Amino acid sequence: MTYLTTSWDDGHALDMKLAAMLARHGVPGTFYVPRQCEGRALLGRDELQQLAQGFELGAHTLHHPRLTTLPDREADSEIRGSRQYVEDITGRECRVFAPPGGRFKQAHVRMAAEAGFRGFRTTELLDYGMPRWRGGIAVLPTTLQAHVHPAAGYWRNAIRRMRLGHLLTWLRYGQGGLVGLFRSLLDRAIVQGGVVHLWGHSWEIEEHRAWPLLETMLMEINERRSQLRFVANSELCREAAR
């Protein structure tokens, strides 16, 4: 079985454009939204409610701080408060959390579990694995960011986490540009099973004028639709629990 999921951070105003593109290609997505993010225009309550009709909303703290810079008590209230914030908007249970900037300590994973989240999305790249369980919460790595990283970005990401297998994946497939890499990763996952998790930020896609690139990636997904099982981030956690 090969699962396909996507996630998009920050609740930027351009997320509506992104959501429309996902909907056009029939691809699911989980949007991780903070209440505030300095210097960025975020979606208002009405738009978030509209977004929540077609997509899952996840929590991304209240003020978008790097959790690793906060005392534990503040980190805990950012994590708990963000769950409440999202649930107030959607009227539904908020099951998944992503730490801003992908920065966290194990203590934050524990806090998220205690706050009631089922999933904790990291920014580990080039991973195909199912979520990994840590004390009652599933930690979700990602496969690829919809963003053109220089090669060193992938290496740093893999080395920081001591994931040499990821480094080998990049060396094998990383030379064909973002779309080429994505295509290779998709095809490998379809053969071997696992998860393809595409993630990114709409504001970053805009900054890099990468909308056509994203559109191509979504078309690549669409072409392989019959070989993939589409899930939102929290559904993937549920699948991993079975």
Burial of residue 137 (CB within 10 Å: 0-12, 13-18, 19+) is: buried
Choices 46-54, 65-73, 95-103, 133-141; region in contact with Zn ion by CB under 5 A:
95-103
β-partners of residue 96 are 119
Residue among 3 and 203 whose Cβ is closer to Zn ion: 203
Produce one character per residue of 52-87: b if its CB has 16 or more CB atoms within 10 Å, e if not: beebbbbbbbbebbebeebeeeebbebbbbbbebbb
The least distance separating Zn ion from the CB of residue 101, rounded to whole angstroms, comes to 6
Q: How many residues bind Zn ion (CB under 5 A)?
A: 3
**Phi, psi at residue 134, to the nearest 5°?**
-135, 100
Per CB under 5 A, 78 contacts Zn ion: no
Question: What six digits make up the tokens of 67?
Answer: 């959790």
The least distance separating Zn ion from the CB of residue 11, rounded to whole angstroms, comes to 9
SS3 for 42? strand
Task: Tell me which of 100, 141, 174, 200 binds Zn ion, using CB under 5 A.
Answer: 100
Task: Tell me which of 2, 8, 9, 115 binds Zn ion, using CB under 5 A.
Answer: 9
Task: Tell me which of 4, 10, 80, 200 binds Zn ion, using CB under 5 A.
Answer: 10
Per CB under 5 A, 15 contacts Zn ion: no
Closest-by-Cβ residue to Zn ion is 9
Residue among 8 and 182 whose Cβ is closer to Zn ion: 8
The least distance separating Zn ion from the CB of residue 161, rounded to whole angstroms, comes to 19
75 CA to centre of own chain = 20
Residue among 183 and 201 whose Cβ is closer to Zn ion: 201
Give Dmax (Cα) for the chain. Answer: 47
Question: What six digits make up the tokens of 164?
Answer: 């040499």
Choices 4-12, 38-46, 134-142, 162-170; region in contact with Zn ion by CB under 5 A:
4-12
Contacts to Zn ion by CB under 5 A: 9-10, 100
